[in-house]
Amino acid sequence: MINYIVKRIGIAIPTLLVLIAVSFYLMHAAPGGPFTSERPLPPQVLANIEAKYGLDQPIWRQMFSYLWGVLTEFDFGPSYKYHDRSVNEIIAQGFPITLKYGFWSFIVAVGVGIPLGAIAAIRKNTWIDYLAVGVSIGAQVLPNFVMAPLLIIVFTLWLDWLPGGGWNGGSWQYLIMPVIALSTSYMASIARITRSSMLEVLNTNYIRTAKSKGLPTKIIFFRHVLKPSLLPVISYLGPAFVGLITGSVIIDMYFSTGGMGYFFVNSAFNRDYSVMMGITIVVGGLTILFSLIADLLYAWVDPKIRY
Amino acid sequence: MIAINKNKIKEMADNLSESGTGRSLWKDARIRFMQNKAATLSLFILAAIVLFSFIGPYFAVWSYEKIDWNAMGSAARVGMPSIESGHFFGTDDLGRDLYSRVIQGTQISLMVGFLGATVAVFVGTLYGATSGYLGGKTDQIMMRIVDILMSIPYMFVLILLLVVFGRSIGMLFIGIGLLSWLDMSRIVRGQTLNLKNKEFIEAARVTGVSDFKIITRHIVPNLLGIVAVYATLLVPGIILAESFISFLGLGVQEPSTSWGALIKEGAGTIRYDTEWQLLFPLAFFVVSLFCFYFIGDGLRDALDPKDR
């Protein structure tokens, strides 16, 4: 097990370095520096600004000092647009918000998706099954950027039950619609994956043996069916996490929740490269960490994996 | 005795020749696909949508760039869908004809979907087949690279690319295509590992065919079934990604448009009683995606040998 963990971390670290290098390179390959504007600055001023941000150094030098700052002090440097704020401050403001609704969306997606899929598999070809399959296909073609406006129309404009946006410290009224919009399609995917893998497990010989020797249904389900049928779900958790993080861009745009996605899109329009890069690296680091956890979980659950 | 045997032999020969001329893999798959009603229906609907996006402009009264000054700014009162005014799907807030805009958006979204999938299929198949066929250290390194790329948050990098290299459709579909070949390469590699120890590959190797030729002439053609299935499932994924980007305003730029951009516009003006601006593009988007998923599932059932 320890070997496997070491090997897996051995992949995670170069991944992070590649991500940092690629985004750094992209940022510098961009035509025009961050301070080119329609009214050109006097060359002396420009040189001063560039010296302040270290842009007059050779590129490999800049890259190493950036890398050093990120790895040792989690310092992502200053923002190019908001002169009084560093990238760290911006991330510290947006990140807890994204984390909060992202966490709840994840709980909802897993907590509703798995039982839904399991019930559909056990009651195959009944109305529950058809309902679950119907919901999961429907949710796949209604991605979060379609769900968000539809939810606002129904719950804010027509019913007037929930506020149409804002965060307000994350109280539950402001949390419901973002969580629903973000989690629905992942809930549906998890339900579908659970259903099909559980159907496969239910048809195996050892389940038939368990049934024929007279084990109670409850024990068969919890001891023999559940664990193997959750394996594909676990391997889906990594991509689902990436999707949730990506979806936060839409959520922040639509519900004005003020999370990381808001700053990311804003900086994309402002060409504020250092903020974009900082957020990409943080999100990438989280993704890598999460897929590491998912892989270790998988290895722990699946007895077939040898280290 | 002999006569009976002769009859039997003749019967057997008939059977043999029948199965000889009988159903190839593809014909078999076609029959199985046709038996799947949802998939067949989806194929027809999708064909109708594609056809509509090419024939539709001939019936349009307004072109997509012409502004109806009557409807401009008062779309809620004047710009509703009607046959008389020539705006079959209504107008948007700028007075542009939504019927023509939806056709334009359909063309662009489908084009991005197909071109992106083509790039992904091409790169992914070659990469996966090469990696699987060569094996050993090369395979390990190539698959590590895929692992590394896979755990990078794709949408964020794509947005970074679009910001750095400018927003254009070309950049968009190159970006999407280059980032979505990863799954394909994994699947193809797995299949190649199964194939590469078959006799016909060994025979080719013994007769001195080069590695590149073996991959392109003998391995890739045998992978077409599984590639076709995943390509069909890839197209809606890419359309979703494109719509996501366009919805953010970073994808397809005015005066061009796409489903994502149209949905964004429609969703933005929904509170002014102009729901057709959302509903028409949304309907096209949702129905097409449904069709792609059903066709993909149908193809998978038809071509998957596990299910026979």
A245-284 pLDDT, tens digit per residue, is 888 888 888 887 878 888 888 887 777 777 888 888 888 8
Closest by Cα among A139, A93, A124 to A261:
A93
**Interchain contact B153–A (C-beta under 8 A):** yes
State the Cα–Cα distance between residues B234 and B119, nearest whole angstrom: 11
From the list B157, B263, B267, the residue facing A280 with the nearest CB is B157
The contacts of residue A152 (CB under 8 Å, 6+ apart) are A164, A165, A177, A254, B270
CB-based contact A11 B144, cutoff 8 Å: yes
CB-based contact A146 B260, cutoff 8 Å: no
Instruction: Assign 3-class secondary structure to A154-168.
Output: HHHHHCCCCCCCCCH
pLDDT at B4: 52
**Interchain contact B144–A (C-beta under 8 A):** yes
Q: Which residues of chain B have a CB within 8 Å of the CB of A264?
A: 156, 159
pLDDT at B12: 57
Answer for the pair A87, A275: CB distance below 8 angstroms, yes or no: yes
For residue B33, which amino acid is it?
F
pLDDT at A273: 76
**Tokens 């690629």, located at residue:** A22
Answer for the pair B236, B292: CB distance below 8 angstroms, yes or no: yes
Written as six digits, the tokens of B71 are 């409807």
The contacts of residue A11 (CB under 8 Å, 6+ apart) are B144, B147, B148
Q: Which residues of chain B have a CB within 8 Å of the CB of A152?
A: 270
**Interchain contact A149–B (C-beta under 8 A):** yes
CB-based contact A146 B293, cutoff 8 Å: no
Average pLDDT score over residue span A168-191? 83
Answer for the pair B39, B298: CB distance below 8 angstroms, yes or no: yes
Q: How far is CA A255 from CA A144, A152, A165, A285, B253, in A?
A: 12, 9, 4, 26, 24
pLDDT greater at residue B177 or residue A184: A184
β-pair partners for B97? B91
Answer for the pair A251, A257: CB distance below 8 angstroms, yes or no: yes
CB-based contact B152 A137, cutoff 8 Å: no
CB-based contact A242 B244, cutoff 8 Å: no
CB-based contact B155 A249, cutoff 8 Å: yes
Of the segments A17-31, A135-149, B121-135, which one has the largest average pLDDT value? B121-135
CA distance B156 to chain A (A): 6
pLDDT at B14: 57
Supply the mean pLDDT for chain A.
80
| DSSP class per residue in A131-197 | HHHHHHHHHHHS-HHHHHHHHIIIIIIIS--S-SS--GGG-HHHHHHHHHHHHHHHHHHHHHHHHHH
Question: For a pLDDT cut of 90, what percent of chain A falls above it?
Answer: 2
State the Cα–Cα distance between residues A26 and A155, nearest whole angstrom: 42
| B residues 248-267 lying closer than 8 A (beta carbon) to A | 248-250, 260, 263-264, 267
pLDDT greater at residue B65 or residue A150: A150
A227-264 b/e (C-beta count within 10 Å ≥ 16 → b): ebbbbbbbbbbbbbbbbbbbbbbbbbbbbebbbbbbbb
pLDDT at B308: 41
State the Cα–Cα distance between residues B191 and A94, nearest whole angstrom: 44
Lowest mean pLDDT across A121-135, A147-161, A194-208, B69-83: B69-83
Helix residue ranges per DSSP H, A165-307: 172-202, 205-212, 217-219, 226-255, 260-270, 273-301
CB-based contact A142 B240, cutoff 8 Å: no
Answer for the pair A155, A225: CB distance below 8 angstroms, yes or no: no
pLDDT at B208: 87
pTM as predicted: 0.78
The contacts of residue B30 (CB under 8 Å, 6+ apart) are B302
From the list A149, A245, A253, the residue facing B153 with the nearest CB is A245
State the Cα–Cα distance between residues B248 and B258, nearest whole angstrom: 12
pLDDT greater at residue A80 or residue B182: B182
Whether the predicted pLDDT of A99 surpasses 50: yes
pLDDT at B1: 43
pLDDT at B307: 45
**Interchain contact B114–A (C-beta under 8 A):** no
pLDDT at B22: 55
Q: Which residues of chain B have pLDDT under 70?
A: 1-23, 25, 68-80, 82-86, 270-271, 304-308
